[in-house]
Structure 1
Amino acid sequence: MKTHNIEINPHQLNAYGEAEVEKIIKHELCHYHLHLAKKGYQHRDPDFKALLKQVGGSRYCKSLPDQGKKRVLPYRYKLVCQTCKTVYMRKRKVDPRRYRCGKCRGELKLTTV
């Protein structure tokens, strides 16, 4: 924790109402209190789990309803063989100089989708 600011997403209030935002605030205040008390304030710490249960905060906030619609394609990059034009779809960016085509051993060129 670099600052002691608590930020709450206003979309949570619009989507789920005051009761859910109250649980989120309790969750964040548990982090804050335990950090100042120099106890385990992370999600995995027993101190955090016990205090959260005691005050009735939520362990996880609910996902916003429109979050799943943003991902259209799982692949962001494609490698294209310069010889046989075979296409390899990739989620992560790679250095094409380190790889060759699996079919013809030709050079690959990286492009974004």
Structure 2
Amino acid sequence: MDDLELQRLVENISMKSFRKQFRHKAYFNPRLRSTGGRYMLDTHHIEINRKYFEQLGHNELCGIIKHELCHYHLHIEGKGYKHKDQDFKFLMKEVGAPRFCSVLPDQPRRNVSRKVIFYICKDCGQVYKRKKRMNTQKYVCGKCRGKLMMKQELTIG
């Protein structure tokens, strides 16, 4: 599929699902890595990641297009076009657009490891769990204003 065929497909989906014309450009963007598509607020163009079409097929591509067209039509009409907006959520449900695109089969799963640090108050024994290190000379216990000391640092995952 080339950019011209993609443009026609986006125009067809816009007319069938939204009953509105798509008056801007749709094209494949080879630089997209972590997303299936993108609606450009300033130009109103839609960019699509070709890998999603190649690896997951026509149905996935149509879902991505519907999702981006929800952003497009709501933005053009001056309604809530962001993911958190009720207008967006309602329109996505109405046209059957997916909230997220599927994970690509060739995408490696990221190994997510988290650091957890435990601090304890020397006076009252209150335990604090933190994601980042903190300066124990600067901060005191919120319960009794006693001195804090690092108890343990764990890496999870």
Q: TM-score, normalised by structure 2?
A: 0.43
Percent sequence identity is 54
Determine the C-alpha separation between the residues in 2 that align with 1:43 and 1:63: 19
Amino acid paired to 1:30: C
Provide the residue aligned with 2:106 in structure 1.
Answer: 66
For the pair 1:32 / 2:90, whether they are aligned, the reply is no
Deviation at 1:57, TM superposition (A): 0.8
Q: TM-score, normalised by structure 1?
A: 0.58
Query: Tell me, which stretches of 5 or more residues in structure 1 are unaligned?
Result: 75-113
Question: Greater RCO between the two (CA within 8 Å, min separation 6)?
Answer: 1
For the pair 1:6 / 2:46, whether they are aligned, the reply is yes
Task: Please list, as runs of the form range in 1=range in 2, the aligned pairs for 1:15-30 lying within 5 A after superposition.
Answer: 15-30=55-70
Query: Tell me, which stretches of 5 or more residues in structure 2 are unaligned?
Result: 1-40, 114-157
String of CA shifts for 1:65-102, please: whole Å, max 9, x gaps.
22226x68x8xxxxxxxxxxxxxxxxxxxxxxxxxxxx
Determine the C-alpha separation between the residues in 1 that align with 2:42 and 2:102: 25
Task: Please list, as runs of the form range in 1=range in 2, the aligned pairs for 1:56-95 lying within 5 A after superposition.
Answer: 56-68=96-108
Provide the residue aligned with 1:49 in structure 2.
Answer: 89
Determine which structure has the larger strand proportion and give its number. 2
